[in-house]
Structure 1
Amino acid sequence: MAVTLGLSRKLLRLATALVLPSFFTVAASAATAPGFVPGSANVAVADPTVPRPPGRSCVVPLFNGFQFTDFSNHPYTYAPPTGCGRAWSKVVLEADFAVTAGRQFDRTASLWLGGANIYFGTTQEPSATVAPTWHIERDVSDFASLLANPQSGQAILGNIVDGTYTGVISGSARLVFYPANILAPKVDAPDAVFPLSDGSAGGPVTLNTGTDTLSRTFTLPTNIERAYIDVFAQGQGGDEFWYSCVPDDLADELQSCGGGAFRETQVAIDGQAAGVAPVYPWIFTGGIDPYMWRPTPGVQTLNFLPYRVDLTPFAALLNDGAPHTVTLTVTGAHRYFAVTGNLFVYQDQGRKKLTGALTTNTLQGQAAAATVENTVTDANGVVGGKVTTSATRTFHTAGYLDTSHGRITTDVAQTVAFTNAQDFTIDATQYVQAIDQRASVASTTRTRVGAFGLGTTMEARYDFPLSARFAYAFDADGNIVSSPSHVTQGFTRHVTKKLGALTLYRSDVDNHIDTGDTLAFSGGAVTGHTGQASTQSFRFSDNLGSCYSRDIVTTTGTLTSATDGVGCTRGRNTLPWFTHPDGSPDTSRTEDPGSF
């Protein structure tokens, strides 16, 4: 009876969360998106901002007007808000950045609090006449346990300002807290967060090879019910364009980077494989052809999303009171990846120590990627053909815990697939490299409370498509005269949560960009460009009536149009406050089967 009553209370909480907030939505006018000015050269993205709960808010500044002109870190301090209590329905990170007109590289930016990463992204490149500004938002409600106490933090944004690189980057950031109320209940946040960073102040860790590791050892609570790790793995240096790399034996012939084209983050607990995270092919605003990303950058370029790995089947191993080492590695890393993560745990409030077992783990020892080389160099030195790399991992992890609500079993089944096909044509007049890459995840998580309890199922599908074509045309003397480039890039996520055969929640996210440009050269230097054009389309919907649609169109480096509400009822964007329309990880009552 205790298990049944507990489940009923949680179903009631779920019903409250799903029904009441639908009357308090954020709506945008149809047709023209607000805040966008056609003809503007400033940053324009289709991504949604974080929906906000009803009621008042409290703002806590983290820093104001920091200037980033070197590679020193910028510390700040945080104290919890006053007058907002300690029960919050949502906490949102807001940050604003700018760079002065001039010449400057794109730079990696990250924000840290209590050693934990709360933001990771890159910056927009300026031009001689355009000083871009941009705004980012992140739902950081999962850090509520950390935010309950004073913390030290730092902003990391390395930059060079000298006679050549003149762009000065500046930024400000704040946290916005929304007190829980009857219409917006307290967030179902993890009870603790354990950062995987470079030290107590926080910072990414550099992994130069596939055997380098980010390892942290924790003594964790002994009553963990659920555990997740959010992973960031950003390719830099020789790995910035990792999706264009080929095996070492072909690197010289194909005039490309070595190390192959397969990258994947692996998660291990005490040396035992526990999960994998596909690496998203982020393209920075200076990547391939900088003009392609003005004024609309690539998917997530300014605001990366982490990939969340469910470690709940391993909770019984973590609950023994002994130290445990969590390790991240990047398969194929080739100088280098910047890596970090956050381990989130939910605890059983009715029992101090939980027992159980990991019952299944078929991930250990699975094979990595296979590469097929079909390139040919003829007698005249003309190179042509294809290099194809593929990897598929199908695995199953399962475990159980004896909790204060009864025995909880968790079963995670996943197929993680990767393909990268590259076509080359190289001769005296041209160099062409065409890339067709796709990473996908199909995941099913089943959770059951007690031998006869209702079972919940969460099905998730992720797809990360990338198509890119780089080309160089040469004159009779072998000098580059033009370079046409084209990129399409996407992020899709489909999530369905069921109670038995009943669908409780379903959501879909689709973020795609299509962009192209042609560089002109003279004497080995870029002299101009033509044909810049891009479109970004962002869609979010769910079975509760949520609908978000925005289309951004640009030409010749300026915004042509920004259109909202296409396909939505009455042409209006409608987002309940508790949704995650950006596709970020969510362990709230709507999307996580373990929340029962």
Structure 2
Amino acid sequence: MKKLLIHLDTTYGQGPFRELRLLIDGKIAGAALPYPVIFTGGLIPSLWRPITAYGALDLPSYFLDVTPFVPLLTDGNSHQFTIDIVSAEDDHTILQNWYVSGLLQVITDSSSKPTTGNMTVYDAPLFSQTSTGGVFGLKKVNIQVNATRKLHIEANILSGSGKATHVVWKQDLSYSNQQSYIQDAEYQVLRQSASGKNIATHNGVPSVVDVFSYPLYVDFAFGSEDQKNWTTRVDHSYDRVVLPNPLIVGSTTKSNQITDGFFQLATGGNFGNGTSNNTFAYADLVGNTYTRQVKAALNVITFDHEGGSMAHTGRTTEGFRGISEVINFVQWGARLPGGKGM
């Protein structure tokens, strides 16, 4: 055994703060802030016709490097990997609509001799640092939830073939959720952001890189006192630079979607409409690029343009730089394309 990497998947449930955790023998090995996927019935069904929200049909995976635990896992005993979801509640409980899974990838050494080593640094709190608060006024309620997590694990590993590897695994995650309910919840506002940096190096060389930002803005308003019609605006983005492991090509993905919609409950049949403006850009380390802009209104695509080396037209897109900028970092110096810092 030389390296251990794990890919985590989750179906996004309800609640302002949810942290996906991986534990090995009860010790935190890594965590993720899941992207807030909105499925096709979310808020207003007509918002997602004919274009679904990003991730609704293919939920993102999250990548953790558990190589620092190799010295503890090669002792010949059985060990337990646990994946769970926790909240910012005092007892960390969640609702029941979360489903998680994991894929453990093992990179073995060429020698049949055992791998040895020792964990030299372990600074990984069991739970994130969270804070909650609220302000209650006349026909108005404001709620805020904040969370941060820092993790730092290091280990020295000696493979059976004699190769020595110094592994450093760090995470720095941040989360904020602000909600306002105005005029007896006739108007509702959500401002949420999740961002972070996950970086693992093996002898100073990046092995896993995951730099992300998931902002989500929602404005909701009832149009009548009986609450049978309402309007909603959603502005959400998926910005991510990721190197899943040394065997998978690193890539940069930037997606933004702004939707506006109306929905009416009626005895003769519910109806609604929506508009959608979508931009997407992708680049990877082997030089593939793809960009697309799509607009829709009243269930009809009104604009569709694609570019990049993987486009059907074969056109290239200028001004979008790939993950190579991130790989050339010094410790926490990762930056997004275009020089935008995280």
TM-score, scaled relative to structure 2: 0.81
What are the superposed Cα offsets for residues 361-394 of structure 1, whole Å, 9 maximum, x if unpaired?
2113454421121232x2xxx2x14211110111
Match of 2:272 among 526, 529, 533: 529
- 2:237 is aligned to 490
Match of 2:81 among 312, 318, 326: 326
- 1:562 is aligned to 304
Which amino acid is the alignment partner of residue 407 of structure 1? A
* Partners of 2:316 and 2:258 in 1: CA distance: 23
462 and 521 in structure 1: CA distance in 2 versus 1, 3 angstrom threshold = same
* Partners of 1:470 and 1:352 in 2: CA distance: 61
Deviation, structure 1 residue 473: 2.6
Q: Are 1:513 and 2:257 an aligned pair?
A: yes
Deviation, structure 1 residue 522: 4.0
- 1:354 is aligned to 115
What are the superposed Cα offsets for residues 118-175 of structure 1, whole Å, 9 maximum, x if unpaired?
xxxxxxxxxxxxxxxxxxxxxxxxxxxxxxxxxxxxxxxxxxxxxxxxxxxxxxxxxx
RMSD: 2.7
Runs of 4+ residues over 6 Å off in structure 1: 566-571
Would you say the 8 A contact 1:466–1:487 is kept in 2? yes
Q: Are 1:392 and 2:162 an aligned pair?
A: no
Paired residues for 1:137-216 under 5 Å: none
SS in 2 for 1:339: strand
* Partners of 1:423 and 1:277 in 2: CA distance: 26
* Partners of 1:284 and 1:419 in 2: CA distance: 22
Which amino acid is the alignment partner of residue 146 of structure 2? S
Q: Are 1:265 and 2:15 an aligned pair?
A: no
What are the superposed Cα offsets for residues 255-274 of structure 1, whole Å, 9 maximum, x if unpaired?
xxxxxx11011111011111
- 1:552 is aligned to 294
SS in 2 for 1:281: coil
Would you say the 8 A contact 2:11–2:59 is kept in 1? no
Which amino acid is the alignment partner of residue 303 of structure 2? S
* Partners of 1:274 and 1:507 in 2: CA distance: 24
- 1:469 is aligned to 219
SS in 2 for 1:417: strand
Which amino acid is the alignment partner of residue 229 of structure 2? S
- 1:230 is aligned to 7
Match of 1:456 among 194, 198, 205: 205
Deviation, structure 1 residue 426: 2.8
Q: Are 1:375 and 2:136 an aligned pair?
A: yes
Deviation, structure 1 residue 548: 0.9
513 and 567 in structure 1: CA distance in 2 versus 1, 3 angstrom threshold = farther
Which amino acid is the alignment partner of residue 30 of structure 2? G
* Partners of 1:343 and 1:325 in 2: CA distance: 12
229 and 457 in structure 1: CA distance in 2 versus 1, 3 angstrom threshold = closer
Match of 1:438 among 187, 193, 197: 193
Structure 1 or 2, whichever has the larger Rg, is 1
Match of 1:426 among 172, 175, 183: 183
Would you say the 8 A contact 1:549–1:567 is kept in 2? no
Would you say the 8 A contact 1:447–1:457 is kept in 2? yes
Which amino acid is the alignment partner of residue 421 of structure 1? Q
Which amino acid is the alignment partner of residue 6 of structure 2? I
What are the superposed Cα offsets for residues 488-520 of structure 1, whole Å, 9 maximum, x if unpaired?
2221112589xxxxxxx9742102221121112
544 and 302 in structure 1: CA distance in 2 versus 1, 3 angstrom threshold = closer
Would you say the 8 A contact 1:480–1:522 is kept in 2? no
Deviation, structure 1 residue 546: 3.0
Would you say the 8 A contact 2:7–2:61 is kept in 1? yes
* Partners of 1:226 and 1:405 in 2: CA distance: 14
* Partners of 1:357 and 1:408 in 2: CA distance: 11
Deviation, structure 1 residue 442: 0.9
Deviation, structure 1 residue 528: 2.1
SS in 2 for 1:535: strand
Deviation, structure 1 residue 573: 4.9
Q: Count residues in correspondence.
A: 306
- 1:53 is aligned to none
What are the superposed Cα offsets for residues 547-584 of structure 1, whole Å, 9 maximum, x if unpaired?
2101121110122222111799997259xxxx99xxxx
Which amino acid is the alignment partner of residue 528 of structure 1? F
Q: Are 1:480 and 2:230 an aligned pair?
A: no
* Partners of 2:128 and 2:194 in 1: CA distance: 17
* Partners of 2:270 and 2:201 in 1: CA distance: 58
* Partners of 1:527 and 1:277 in 2: CA distance: 38
TM-score, scaled relative to structure 1: 0.48
Identify unmatched segments of 5+ residues in structure 2: 88-93, 324-342
* Partners of 2:188 and 2:142 in 1: CA distance: 10
Deviation, structure 1 residue 334: 1.6
Deviation, structure 1 residue 417: 0.9
Identity of aligned residues (%): 25
SS in 1 for 2:215: strand
SS in 2 for 1:315: helix
Deviation, structure 1 residue 345: 1.0
* Partners of 1:512 and 1:352 in 2: CA distance: 50
Deviation, structure 1 residue 297: 0.5
- Structure number with higher helix proportion: 1
SS in 1 for 2:276: strand
- 1:316 is aligned to 71
304 and 365 in structure 1: CA distance in 2 versus 1, 3 angstrom threshold = closer
Would you say the 8 A contact 1:262–1:369 is kept in 2? no
